[in-house]
Structure 1
């Protein structure tokens, strides 16, 4: 009877129990510092993280990722918009999307092979 009453209180409060398995751990904020673009080779921020500091990136210049693996997830903490490209040459004939600063993308629609940082 007590369990039934507890269920009614929980249901009435609008709080529903969250299944533990449903939560997918993401990166901690410190894993991509302010002023950085961070890219991971696998979705959900897995694999060896590659970081690029804003102070080391030329604004508006295409920066190709090394190797052929590219990135499946990424974070933009530069304070500026960042465009990610499927093309290693930043060609707009393949897929590309611009992400605002503060965005975290756990699974991109395509493998990112290059990016550009823009003025605000």
Structure 2
């Protein structure tokens, strides 16, 4: 769970949504016999509460290939999915999601940071949060996602 806590301590995951790091072998030691996450050390101000940062159990891993950013219109990776990779997006461009599609959970398995936006035009007047690449799992987005931007 050290990877998840590093994300929270670095202040890279803000907002009210839940964020998860890629599961590791050490995560099994951080789960009690009842299956509940063990208490985590306190994180820095402005970060996702440590209780909200946990590793996804291997049996619940959503299908999202390495190198992709995947979104679902339901929470906990349910419903219709959309996926993006560097073949389908140009870093720095605002990518509005298809008409009528709003994401409520997502996974960043790209090697690049991705910012999610509440508005379809990537405006900073609505909510927006940047999530690090390499395996960030968010089963409940802090707001309905309508656009994204992949960074260099």
Query: Do both share a fold (TM > 0.5)?
Result: yes
Distance in 1 between residues matched to 2:82 and 2:118, nearest whole Å:
17
Match of residue 27 from structure 1: 61
Distance in 2, matches of 1:17 and 1:106, equals 21
TM (norm. structure 2) is 0.61
Structure 1 residues 27 and 16 mapped into 2: Cα distance closer, same or farther (>3 Å)? closer
2:115 aligns with 83
What do the CA deviations read for 1:91-120 (whole angstroms, capped 9, x no partner)? Answer: 00000000001101000110000000001x
Find the counterpart in structure 2 of residue 118 from structure 1.
Answer: 151
Please state how far the C-alpha of 1:27 moved relative to its aligned partner.
Answer: 3.0
Matched, 1:18 2:35: yes
* Bigger Rg, structure 1 or 2: 1
Structure 1 runs, 4 residues or longer, greater than 6 Å off:
none
Cα deviation, residue 16, structure 1: 2.8
Which residue number corresponds to residue 26 of structure 2?
A: none
Alignment of 1:104-115 (within 5 A): 104-115=137-148
Q: 1 or 2, which has the higher helix percentage?
A: 1
Across the aligned residues of Structure 1 and Structure 2, the Cα RMSD in angstroms comes to 2.0
Consecutive unaligned residues of structure 1, counting only runs of 5 or more, are 1-14
Partner of 1:64: 96
Pairing 1:40–2:48 present? no
The one of 86, 92, 96 equivalent to 2:128 is 96
Aligned pairs, how many?
Answer: 100
Map of 1:51 onto structure 2: 83
Q: Is the 8 A contact 1:38 1:52 kept in 2?
A: yes
Kept in 2, the 8 Å contact 1:40–1:50? The answer is yes
